[in-house]
A and B are shown apart, each in its own frame.
Chain A
Amino acid sequence: MPSLKDLKVRINSTKNTQKITSAMKMVSAAKLRRAQEQAEAARPYAERMEKVLRSLAVSMAGKDNAPALLAGTGRDQVHLLVVMTSDRGLCGAFNSSITRQARKMARDLKANGKQVKILAVGRKARDQMKREFLNEIIATIEDVGKPRLTFDSAAKIAQRISHMFEAGEFDVCTVVYNKFKSAITQIVTPQQLIPFALSSANENADANAAIYEYEPDEEAILADLLPRNLSMQVYRALLENAASEQGARMTAMDNATRNAGDMINKLTINYNRTRQANITKELIEIISGAEAV
C-alpha cells in the first residue's frame, strides 16, 4: 500500500502532465485553424490548374510526344516513394499510419521485383522507415513547415524530385501523406505524382470543355505547366499533412487530458481513503490505549 506522501506526489505529477497536454491541445487547435485556412487558400489555384491541365491533356491524348512528366518513361522498374510525416511526435497514430502504409507499399513493390527508393520528408519518416529500409532512403528533408509552410519550400522539394526524374533515377513517383478529413479522421493517401494521373472525378466535364487557343502551342504550355503542377501537388500534400498533423495531435492530446483527469480522480479517491484509514487507525490506537489504562 503506497503511503500518503507517495500518492500526493503521483497526483501532483499527473496534474502537471494534464496541464501540459491541455496546453498542447489548445496550441494544436489554433494551429489547426491556421493550417486549414492555408489549405483553403490554396484551393482556387489547384482547381484552376487542374482544369487547364485537363483540357490540355485531352488535346494531347492522341499524340505520342507528350512530355515525360505526363506520360512517364514507359517503364515502372524504379519507384520513388515520398513519405511525408511530421518532425515531431505526440500526435497519436498520425506518423505511424503513414509509415505503415509506406512500408507496406515498399514491401509489395520489392516482392514484385521492383526497385524502391525513399525520400523521407519529416524526421519521423526517416526514424520509422530506417529500421526496415535503411539502404533505400536516399535523402531526408526536415523542417519543411518552419517557421511557416510556404510554397517555396514545396517548390524546392518538387525541384529535387524533377531533377532526379530528369537524371533517370526513377520511373514512377508516389507521395504518401495524410489527407485531412476532420480533426478526428485523417486518411492515408498514396498519390502518384509522376507520371501525373488526373483524377477521374469529373470526367464528364471533358466532353463539353471549351476549345481553347493556345499560345504558344500545347506542348510548350504543357512543358511549362507540369513542373508547376508538380510543385502544387507537393504543396497541397504538405498542407493537407500539416492540417492532419495538428488535427491528430489535438485529438491525441484531448484524450490524454481526459485520461489524466480520470487518473487524478482515482488517485484522489485512493488518497482520501488512505487518509481516512490512517485516522481511524490512530483513533483505535488512542482509544484502546486509554482503555488499557
Chain B
Amino acid sequence: MADQVHFELVSPERLLFSANVAEIVIPGVEGDFAVLAGHSNLISTLRPGVIHILETGAQVTDRIFVEGGFAEVNAEGCTVLAERAARVADIDRNKAEQALADAREDLQDAKSEIDRAAAAQLVEIAEARIAALGTSTY
C-alpha cells in the first residue's frame, strides 16, 4: 500500500520491530509526534515513553516502551534507535515500582552533581515506565 510507512525499532542487541504500518506515534523530547507516510525528514531525540503503533491507522495495535533514544524519519521510512525497549504488555508492575523506589532512593543519596543528574534521569525513566502501564491516550 502506498500510504504506509516502513517502521523499524532497533536496539544495539537486535532488530525489535520491522514492518509497514499506517501510523506511529513517537514520544519526542518536545512532545509526541505522529509519523504517517510522506512525513518530512526529521531527526529527533526521544524522552522515556511509549511508542504507539497503529498498523491500520484505526487503532493502536502495539505499544512499546522506550527509555530514550532517537528517531529518524526520511523518505525510506521511520527508524527508532533505542538502547532499551520493551513491550508494554511485558512490563512487570511490581518490578517497575521497585525500580522507581530504588531510583528515588538513589536520588536522595546522590552526593555529587553528576550522580544527582544520573539518578534524576533514572527516576524519570522509572516514572515513565509506570505511566506507560496506565491506559493509552490514543
Contact = CB atoms under 8 A, between A and B. Distances in A.
Interface of A: 38, 41-42, 44-46, 48-49, 51-52, 55-56, 150-151, 154-155, 163, 166, 210-216, 220-221, 224-225, 228, 231-232, 235
B43 A220 contact: no
Contact of B81 (A48, A154, A212, A235): A48
A221 B21 CA distance: 26
A48 B13 contact: no
Nearest to B43: A212
A213 B74 CA distance: 10
Interface in B90-109: none
Contact of A48 (B14, B45, B72, B75): B72
Given A44-B10, A45-B10, A224-B70, A210 B15 contact: no
Contact of B74 (A42, A163, A212): A212
A41 B72 contact: no
A38 B13 contact: yes
A60 B79 CA distance: 22
Interface of B: 8, 10-15, 28-30, 33, 40-45, 69-70, 72, 74-75, 79, 81, 83, 114
B42 A151 contact: no
B12 A216 contact: no
Which 7 interchain pairs have the tightest Cβ spacing? A215-B44, A151-B12, A41-B14, A212-B41, A213-B42, A45-B10, A45-B12
B7 to A, nearest CB: 13
Contact of A155 (B41, B83, B114): B83
Given A41-B13, A41-B15, A51-B72, 9 more contacts: A46-B12, A52-B70, A55-B43, A163-B114, A210-B74, A216-B45, A224-B70, A225-B45, A228-B83
